[in-house]
Amino acid sequence: MTRIELVRRPQHSALFSVLSPFIAVLITALIGGIMFAMLGKSPIGGLYAYFIEPLTEVWSIHELIIKATPLILIAVGLSVCFLSNNWNIGAEGQFIMGAIAGSVMPVLYPGITGPMVLPLMLVMGMAGGAAWATIPAFLKARFGTNEILSSLMLVYVAELFLDWLVRGPWRNPEGFNFPETRSFHADAILPEMLSASGRAHYGFVFAILAALIVWFMLSRTLKGYEIRVLGESPRAGRFAGFSAKRMVFFAFIVSGALAGLAGIIEVSGAIGQLRPAISPGYGFTAIIVAFLGRLNPLGIVAAGLILALSYLGGEAAQISLGVSDKVANVFQGVLLFSVLACDTLIRYRIRIVRPQPAATPEPAR
Amino acid sequence: MHKAHVAAYAHLSAQPIDRGTMTASASEKTGPTPLLLVEGITKRFGDLIANDAVDFDILAGEIHALLGENGAGKSTLVKMLFGSLKPDGGRIVWNGEPVSIPNPSAARHLGIGMVFQHFSLFDSLTVAENIALSLEDDVPLPTVADEAGRLGEVYGLTLNPEALAGDLSVGERQRVEIIRCLLQEPSLIILDEPTSVLTPQEAERLFETLDKLKAEGKSILYISHKLDEVKRLCDRATVLRHGKVVAQCDPRTETAKSLAAMMVGEEVQAVRRTHDAPAGDDSGRDIVLGVHNLDQPPIGPFSTPLRAIHMNVYAGEVFGIAGVAGNGQSELFEALSGEQLQDNPNAVTIGGTPAGRLGPNGRRRLGAAFAPEERFGHAAVATMPLTENILLSRHASDASAYQSGGRLGMLRRSALGRTLSRVVDAMDVRKSGENPDAGTLSGGNLQKLILGREFDRRPRLFIVNQPTWGVDAGAAARIRQALMDAATAGAGALVISQDLDELLEMCDRIAVIHDGEMSEPLDARTVTREQLGLLMGGAEPEKHHGVAA
């Protein structure tokens, strides 16, 4: 019987390191086309509505940037975590806690206005996300707890905490009992970049800055070297005199702070108040972004735009094709699978083995 | 229990095995069909030809040696025989029939068994359970235990089937592997570097077992780089170099030197003893490493505790620590390198300065240099380029050379590149490309780089664990010479090794570590292998402890 074998390459393939994300996107489009066909829609039309149509209008590109901003910010932080072998799956929770902490000023002290409000909100957002991320970091460093589970479970705690806040103590007194806080005053709103053509806000600038700074740190400084060494081999890191425990805190705090910043930017720039649901799963989608960008902050900027497109396409297809908005989640899942699968090609090559006539002394089964 | 072992060893070493009758019977069997015939077998990995048209044969009832440096293609060849790799060309003939061996299971069905260099036992399972796991059929556990016990009796492989694998000594673990292999009733047994972890006495015991197997007409393919062993044990030898068969010979008529020359392709230079530290008289010499009453509880479930370790390493001396693997060597290394800290700062002093509370970089700044046993994942990171591997041990001790921008800590890659070419030139590191990943280097070349990056600093104390483990003869000689030259130049060197020949060649004094305790140092010029072997087996210090036998 013909079978397919994976043969280990003697060296990493530089070609496939570059090609793998593109192949993954291609496979995703292919599977997406099949899915549309099975839903009874035209595959070409479906893919067009998903991936091309949102790019044809300027306001839509603004929306793309709004959606890409939190994805990039979170994924850049996650790249530090994942490179150092810390599996922070709870960025969604850090995003929410950042949004809550950053909203303290406009919600509880709406009387305080002025140019210092917004910077203070951003700093408090980062602090909130970082503090939430410190919990799994502490549990891992002190007790050896699995950070995947603890960080993930804290997402649900954060979601319920937000839900309780906006239905309870932080509910807008003049809001007709709707579960939401009061709208932020003008000084607490992140301004739009080009308000004439769309609502994209300055959060995107923060995302790009964060990507550049983290890229510099990872590729040019001793700290980045420390992150990579500890991620590749904790024992070699210890031999180099690096502390794996301190790295746990560093990685979680950096990624928590960036997720928290994304949270307050989303609330202050795109929503303008706190609601029970402020994220369509940015914290989880950012995991896909981080891997699609090959854990390289510059690659993450591109990957963030692609994943933002899948959100936007999902909304567009819901309207124009009448398919469920869950299709967007399917796309994201398929993309993550494809990315991880295609990464195999970097270390292995595929060989197709045909049956051999030689007498094999294997007994009959 | 332990004393009984030692007595058995002493008995064995006192009676060298008579080999005359065996060899006679083997040569008579030189018949028309060899048990295994390999013709023109070839294996390529990309551009590298690991095996280039290799021919050789094994007769029934012979012990055949496969000799070669690291990277000569021995493992590749054996993997093809055992079905873990598929040859690109050539054929394998078994008992006169051409066969293809697609997987290890097929190899076992043919009658080829293998005992690996690195044992694959589950520490938390018993001996019998470990053996049962490797059997393809469902055999009830008591049957396995009985059968293992019977085989053990026949071949002198004493084992308690109820003992936990984690409690066994390395020699005992090897016995489990051999029994596991024998249960498959193989007619050819492949042994990969079997004595690399054994005491001389344990090795002697293994040889006796191998002789019994041979007398029964079983064939053995014996892979080793220890030429003395090959000379006394093997009937024929096939020598591989760069993937080709360069010689086939009767090792008993060769000298160790001529065998080494075949392996390396040139005369191996004997290490020159460039210095002789005065023994006994320690006055006036600087203590570069002082260890005082170093105690360390076990770090993990299978780690050895260190007990009251005491030693002084003087400037200009090579101090050796012998011992069988797993007796606390790596724990001692990590305690000295600062990967494990001590409670008492004075437990470890470097150049007279208390260092017990300092991490690896603090100790490096005092002039110490370290080279651990594991190259990948401890001394080096396989997926990182060589320059970044040089940075691994030197980013703090040479911070001004490799970092700029103050607290920003920007890396100076050009300076790293210059250091790399210095190290490569000084130690003759062979690599492909300018700055390849460490994982692409062979073991010997990587070890030269790992030690070279330390020599480049001119430290005054070297602490090395297994400096030439798995390293080819040429590179090993170079590494030993460099360490001895450093001692001549006034540095102190602590060499932890399981290779007695290496220690006897290099060291001024040798101590033995056994079960986390260290013996008094002995003068390397007068100590005998038997003395060291007894200490390695635990004859001293007088102590009883529960090790399942």
* pLDDT exceeds 90 at position A268: yes
Q: Which amino acid is at B291?
A: V
* pLDDT exceeds 70 at position B544: no
Q: Which residues contact B364 (CB under 8 A, 6 or more apart)?
A: A241, B370, B393, B394, B396, B397, B459
Coil, strand, or helix at residue A3? strand
Domain extent for B34 = 6-264
What pLDDT score was predicted for residue B455?
Answer: 94
Cα B53 to chain centroid, rounded: 29
What pLDDT score was predicted for residue A54?
Answer: 86
Minimal Cα–Cα distance from B153 to chain A, Å? Answer: 31
Comparing CB atoms, the residue among B374, B378, B411 nearest residue A225 is B411
Q: Which residues contact B318 (CB under 8 A, 6 or more apart)?
A: B277, B483, B484, B487, B493, B495, B506, B507, B508
Residue A233 sits at the chain B interface (C-beta within 8 Å): yes
**What is the Cα–Cα distance from B408 to B257, expressed in whole angstroms?**
55
Neighbouring C-beta atoms of residue B257, cutoff 10 Å: 11
Q: Do B440 and A10 touch (CB under 8 A)?
A: yes
**What is the Cα–Cα distance from A106 to B437, expressed in whole angstroms?**
53
What pLDDT score was predicted for residue B369?
Answer: 96
What are B267-314's pLDDT values in tens digits?
555 555 555 555 555 556 789 999 999 999 988 766 789 999 999 999
What pLDDT score was predicted for residue B16?
Answer: 36
Q: Which amino acid is at B419?
A: T
What are A299-317's pLDDT values in tens digits?
999 999 989 998 888 888 8
Of A74 and B129, the structure prediction assigns the larger pLDDT to: A74
Q: Could you give the residue ranges of the DSSP H alpha helices within A39-116?
A: 43-47, 58-83, 91-102, 104-108
Q: Is the domain of B170 the same as that of B122?
A: yes
Label residue B259 by pLDDT band (50, 70, 90).
Answer: confident
**What is the Cα–Cα distance from A250 to B132, expressed in whole angstroms?**
46
What are B26-78's pLDDT values in tens digits?
434 445 578 999 999 998 876 678 888 999 999 988 999 998 876 678 888 98
B318-322 and B509-514 as β-strands: parallel, antiparallel, unpaired? parallel
Label residue B546 by pLDDT band (50, 70, 90).
Answer: very low
Q: Do A360 and B106 touch (CB under 8 A)?
A: yes
CA B50 to each of CA A63, B118, B361: distance values in angstroms, whole numbers, following the listed order: 57, 21, 40
Q: At residue A211, what are phi and psi to the nearest 5 degrees?
A: -60, -45
B-proximal residues of A, 205-224, CB under 8 Å: 220-223
Peptide bond into B541 cis (omega under 30): yes
Residue A358 sits at the chain B interface (C-beta within 8 Å): yes
Comparing CB atoms, the residue among A222, A229, A361 nearest residue B381 is A229
Domain edges within chain A? 59-349
What pLDDT score was predicted for residue B247?
Answer: 87
CA atoms within 13 A on the CB side of B213: 33
Q: Is the domain of B245 the same as that of B346?
A: no
In degrees, rounded to 5, the angle at the alpha carbon of residue B370 between the alpha carbons of residues B351 and B380 is 160
Minimal Cα–Cα distance from B151 to chain A, Å? Answer: 26
Q: Do B379 and A228 touch (CB under 8 A)?
A: no
* pLDDT exceeds 70 at position B539: no
Please identify, among B264, B299, B315, the residue that sits at the C-terminal boundary of a domain: B264
What pLDDT score was predicted for residue B265?
Answer: 67
Task: Find the range with the poorest average confidence among A23-37, B272-286, B425-439, B483-497.
Answer: B272-286
Please identify, among B229, B264, B299, the residue that sits at the C-terminal boundary of a domain: B264
Please say whether the beta carbons of A311 and A329 come within 8 A: no
Label residue A255 by pLDDT band (50, 70, 90).
Answer: very high
Nearest C-alpha neighbor of A83 from the set A210, A207, A217, A209: A217
Task: Find the range with the poorest average confidence among B38-42, B224-228, B372-376, B414-418.
Answer: B224-228
Q: With pLDDT > 90 as the criterion, what percentage of chain A qualifies?
A: 64
Q: Which residues contact A83 (CB under 8 A, 6 or more apart)?
A: A218, A227, A228, A231, A295
Q: Is the domain of B105 the same as that of B240?
A: yes
What pLDDT score was predicted for residue A355?
Answer: 67
CATH code of the domain made up of A59-349: 1.10.3470.10
Q: Is the domain of B151 the same as that of B15?
A: yes
What pLDDT score was predicted for residue B290?
Answer: 94
B548: in domain: no
What are B169-194's pLDDT values in tens digits?
777 888 888 888 888 889 999 998 88
CA A325 to each of CA A328, B43, B147: distance values in angstroms, whole numbers, following the listed order: 6, 53, 64
What pLDDT score was predicted for residue B236?
Answer: 92
Q: Is the domain of B259 the same as that of B292?
A: no
What is the total count of domains within chain B?
A: 2
Residue A359 sits at the chain B interface (C-beta within 8 Å): yes
Q: Is the domain of B173 the same as that of B64?
A: yes
Look at the block and give the residue holding tokens 């920007």: B410
B374: in domain: yes
Q: Which amino acid is at B99?
A: V
CA B97 to each of CA A361, B34, B38, B51, B92: distance values in angstroms, whole numbers, following the listed order: 10, 11, 11, 22, 8
B195: in domain: yes
**What is the Cα–Cα distance from B174 to B198, expressed in whole angstroms?**
9
- The whole-number average pLDDT for the span A94-115 is 95
The residue of chain A with its CA nearest to that of B361 is A241
B278: in domain: no
Q: Which residues contact A229 (CB under 8 A, 6 or more apart)?
A: A236, A237, A240, A242, B381, B384, B388, B392
Identify from B374, B389, B395, B450 which residue to disrupt to test chain A contact, counting A C-beta atoms within 10 A and taking the largest count: B395
- The whole-number average pLDDT for the span B489-495 is 93
Q: Is the domain of B352 the same as that of B232?
A: no
- The whole-number average pLDDT for the span B456-462 is 94
B549: in domain: no
Of A195 and A253, the structure prediction assigns the larger pLDDT to: A253
Q: Which residues contact B489 (CB under 8 A, 6 or more apart)?
A: none
Please say whether the beta carbons of B253 and B27 come within 8 A: no
Q: Which amino acid is at A339?
A: V
Q: Which residues contact A246 (CB under 8 A, 6 or more apart)?
A: none
**Sign of the torsion formed by the C-alpha atoms of B21, B27, B28 and B30:** positive
CATH number of the domain enclosing B117: 3.40.50.300
* pLDDT exceeds 90 at position A176: no
What pLDDT score was predicted for residue B141?
Answer: 84
Q: Is the domain of B242 the same as that of B299?
A: no
The residue of chain B with its CA nearest to that of A223 is B409
B160: in domain: yes
What pLDDT score was predicted for residue B85?
Answer: 86
Q: Do B411 and A223 touch (CB under 8 A)?
A: no
Please say whether the beta carbons of B54 and B66 come within 8 A: no
Cα B468 to chain centroid, rounded: 8
Q: Which residues of B touch A357 (CB under 8 A)?
A: none
Structure tokens at A267: 């609330």
Q: With pLDDT > 90 as the criterion, what percentage of chain B qualifies?
A: 35
* pLDDT exceeds 80 at position A348: yes
Identify from A13, A213, A222 which residue to disrupt to test chain B contact, counting B C-beta atoms within 10 A and taking the largest count: A222
Q: Which residues of B touch A235 (CB under 8 A)?
A: 374, 377-378
Identify the burial level of A154 via C-beta atoms within 10 angstroms of its C-beta, where 0-12 means exposed, 13-18 middle and 19 or more buried.
buried
Q: Is the domain of B258 the same as that of B371?
A: no
Q: Which residues of A touch B409 (CB under 8 A)?
A: 221-223
Coil, strand, or helix at residue B521? coil
DSSP letter (8 states) at residue B532 = H
Please provide the average confidence, as pLDDT, over all residues in chain B: 82
Q: Is the domain of B248 the same as that of B314?
A: no
What pLDDT score was predicted for residue B246?
Answer: 87
ipTM, two decimals = 0.83
H-run or E-run covering B82: none
Q: Which amino acid is at B448?
A: K
What are B313-335's pLDDT values in tens digits?
999 999 999 987 778 898 999 99
* pLDDT exceeds 70 at position A193: yes
In degrees, rounded to 5, the angle at the alpha carbon of residue B100 between the alpha carbons of residues B95 and B105 is 90
Identify the burial level of A2 via C-beta atoms within 10 angstroms of its C-beta, where 0-12 means exposed, 13-18 middle and 19 or more buried.
exposed
What are B44-57's pLDDT values in tens digits?
876 678 888 999 99
Q: Which residues of B touch A361 (CB under 8 A)?
A: 94, 97, 99, 106, 109-110
Q: Is the domain of B200 the same as that of B232?
A: yes
Please identify, among B202, B232, B264, the residue that sits at the C-terminal boundary of a domain: B264
